[in-house]
Structure 1
């Protein structure tokens, strides 16, 4: 081969490589930790946790991943301790699952130090918990790096009373479609909420002095029993009133019957912008696809960010960040 042709080949390979550089991909860690199967380690820890400590962990991790990815992207900033970080935001006060992420990180560090990011651990662990809770397998893309910025003031998540159109716009900022939004809200197939987040729907919806007319009488009666007017206790109720511990299509079935607990959950079944998506929901396939797209939101890759040694602290504390006291 002539020097000129060799140069062309080298330049072609360089250009081709740059196109792939920085992208998430399935199997990013394959072969990078000797004979250790990184995803297998994560799966083993999650399975043990699920069967010995907490069978509701899927709901916790789904919420953690969503709350992380919607603030600064999927960079595990929600895991950082210290200072006025994201954990201190009101919306994140009830986020849980941190101890499981720590256990997974410890197991991976014992096998291959400094290799697996905390951001990737969240995505892999969430998928495995979903599977254990009755959901379908979906391939998780990996290759994320961890961020080092965590401010409570950055946490601005869509609330339970947001309109469908405003919610669509909020998701669009993250390059997620209305279909993605509907299926990600389908994550409410597991988990709980508090009476205070929907009590207005029971007694004084939109200052009418009466209940939300879109709520079924059956649900209204049940929720008023659990959330009596003037109660000093902020009780909890399941978001899926039929199969609250299973990742399945029940949530979409229930909201079509007027059994959506949160206002936004009910409205996606009624609003012309989303009702056809709900009606034709293919949860087994589309939920996993939506989770993969969520996992791509504003990720850090390559030389960006870092791979934390501990998911609760940056490796080298930068100045002037919310994590600094």
Structure 2
């Protein structure tokens, strides 16, 4: 993992030019929110995530992605965790939305965390805050930056499959569509490039790559922005006409580590997804200079990544008396009251595949 020291002046340049540290913050959120009510919550979350990641290193990337997919739909309120229910109110789970179905991972991990937290501090910590803490801890365990997570989110009492299909950008998105999807959430171009850096680790299913390899834009040819050597490597992993379920590393040299190699890969046409390569290969795009900065300066990437993660984590949060603190992350409390919680088992995705849509 490369790390290039930077001067204070250089870091100030990044901040001034890209404005990433001038993010909006919800005044009601506070890193010390659970200081008196659940002081060990971060340690509890860390222990579960660390233990899971020892057996499944990909889970770190999956938990960051789960947080992202939650925040882009109804805000950061853990709506993505809600299962389908008919009573006492009908909920269409976001888990079956096109960007999530057979794709999201980590639902069982979140429930493991919730169980451990409830044992220590019953009825105190929201599932939305658990998702946010798990994302930050996953960054740290993956070799990335740490930050003080603003806490105090409440859980939503509904979900929206429609908005999940509408709001979450596709791996096939053009740069304009990516920008539009992020702008709709109050995130700017630098946020887009910085958060895309989460693709420095994790895996994607071949189904999200094969069109670039064999029939890009129905041309019968590969994507011209794809390095030819990398193209042949990917074709070996993702055969034409295959099931599409093979997994491919997002990043070539350090697939389980957060670093700035993702941006270096974009500069040599080795971005895995179309939406990745669009950041550098779109002619005249303002994202090119940001990619160059992050490729040359890992400290700048880390500073912008954590700022953008905090900013994203503040999208549409519920605080105070809004929402609730769910007793069980997959159901609103009114539904949980109908169930024997000891018998409730969440359904993890049948496909253990991680592909991020951002």
Q: In the TM superposition, what whole-angstrom CA distance separates every residue of 1:82-114 from its partner, at most 9, and x where no partner exists?
A: 333111223212111111111111111112211
How far apart, in 2, do the equivalents of 1:32 and 1:194 lie?
Answer: 41
Gap regions ≥5 residues in structure 2: 1-24, 86-91, 295-299, 337-358
Q: In the alignment, which residue of structure 2 is the partner of 1:215? A: 226
Q: In the alignment, which residue of structure 1 is the partner of 2:217? A: 206
Cα deviation, residue 233, structure 1: 4.7
How far apart, in 2, do the equivalents of 1:176 and 1:261 lie?
Answer: 23
Give the alignment's TM-score, normalised by structure 1: 0.87
Q: In the alignment, is residue 87 of structure 1 matched against residue 95 of structure 2?
A: yes
Pick from 268, 273, 286 the counterpart of residue 257 of structure 1. Answer: 268
Q: In the TM superposition, what whole-angstrom CA distance separates every residue of 1:42-86 from its partner, at most 9, and x where no partner exists?
A: 2222222223x3222111101101111111111001111233311
How far apart, in 1, do the equivalents of 2:214 and 2:244 lie?
Answer: 16
Bigger shift: residues 60-69 or 193-202: 193-202
Pick from 42, 60, 78 the counterpart of residue 80 of structure 2. Answer: 78
Cα deviation, residue 24, structure 1: 1.4
Q: In the alignment, which residue of structure 2 is the partner of 1:111? A: 120
Q: In the alignment, is residue 195 of structure 1 matched against residue 200 of structure 2?
A: no
Bigger shift: residues 297-306 or 186-195: 186-195
Cα deviation, residue 280, structure 1: 0.4
Bigger shift: residues 186-195 or 140-149: 186-195
How far apart, in 1, do the equivalents of 2:206 and 2:199 lie?
Answer: 15
Q: Mark the CA change 1:21 to 1:269 in structure 2 (over 3 Å): closer, same or farther.
A: closer
Q: Mark the CA change 1:278 to 1:21 in structure 2 (over 3 Å): closer, same or farther.
A: closer
Pick from 267, 288, 292 the counterpart of residue 275 of structure 1. Answer: 288
Larger radius of gyration: 1
Q: In the alignment, which residue of structure 2 is the partner of 1:148? A: 157
RMSD: 1.8
- State the number of aligned residues: 296
How far apart, in 1, do the equivalents of 2:190 and 2:160 lie?
Answer: 30
Give the alignment's TM-score, normalised by structure 2: 0.79
Q: In the TM superposition, what whole-angstrom CA distance separates every residue of 1:147-181 from its partner, at most 9, and x where no partner exists?
A: 01123223121101111122111111100010001
Once superposed, which parts of structure 1, at least 4 consecutive aligned residues long, lie more than 4 Å away?
A: none
How far apart, in 2, do the equivalents of 1:127 and 1:115 lie?
Answer: 20
Gap regions ≥5 residues in structure 1: 1-19, 319-325
Q: In the alignment, which residue of structure 2 is the partner of 1:244? A: 255
Given that 2:73 and 2:160 are in contact with CA atoms closer than 8 Å, whether structure 1 keeps it comes out as: no
How far apart, in 2, do the equivalents of 1:191 and 1:233 lie?
Answer: 17
Q: Mark the CA change 1:226 to 1:122 in structure 2 (over 3 Å): closer, same or farther.
A: same
Q: Mark the CA change 1:229 to 1:44 in structure 2 (over 3 Å): closer, same or farther.
A: closer
Pick from 24, 31, 36 the counterpart of residue 31 of structure 1. Answer: 36
Q: In the alignment, is residue 178 of structure 1 matched against residue 189 of structure 2?
A: yes
